Every structure is written in structure tokens, then in C-alpha cells.
Amino acid sequence: MTDSTPEKFNPLHIIATAVATVVVTVFTLGHYGYLHFAKPEDALLLAEFTMLKTIPGEDYRASLKPAEQNAQCIDGIVVLFDNKQKGLSGVLVDDKKRAVRCL
């Protein structure tokens, strides 16, 4: 004689499967380098800059070799692009982390 009573639906199996799927997916993406969790030390300094103040009648000296960064004015803020590492860019800020504006 066969038992014809239907099995009860157990939502714990579906929840456990969903949680396990998310955990395995996150682990796999992290293992292959597709996940990156940003840390404060990731905001590295692209380069150090010093402003040379120009005084009328006085000469200033600067190297003829150009810097490894290019600057553009984007939405009124100076954005630097690195020539050596393509895709690396940043916003020019002062020592108080305020963005340098441009016209």
C-alpha cells in the first residue's frame, strides 16, 4: 500500500538554499577578484603638489619635463588623470580635503 498523503511544504529548505547560494556566490566572486571592499587606505595619494607663487619681477624655476598627470576642469573641479596608469584619476584637494575649483 502506498502512502498518498502529500508532503508538507517546508520553507526552511528554500531559505537555506538561498542563503547558501548567496554565500557561495560572494565567496566565488571574491576569490576571482571581482569584489573589492574599499578601505580608508585605498584613498592613496596620487602625487604631491606644491604651488609656486609668482611674484611680479621675480623668476621661478620649474622643470622642463612635464608631470605624469594631466588636469582637466570637470564640473568646476580640478580632476587629475595619471599618464602612467591608465584609468587612474582623482580630484585635486588641499590639505583639508577641500576640492580645488577651476573656472
Closest CA to 69 of 95, 42, 92: 92
pLDDT tens for each residue of the chain, 103 residues long: 555 556 777 889 999 999 999 999 999 999 998 887 767 666 656 667 777 788 888 887 888 898 888 899 999 999 988 888 777 788 888 888 888 999 8
CA distances from 51 to 26, 38, 54, 81, 99 (A): 45, 30, 9, 18, 15
Report how far residue 43's alpha carbon sits from residue 77's, in angstroms, rounded to the nearest whole number.
18
Report how far residue 77's alpha carbon sits from residue 90's, in angstroms, rounded to the nearest whole number.
10
Whether pTM > 0.85 for this model: the answer is: no
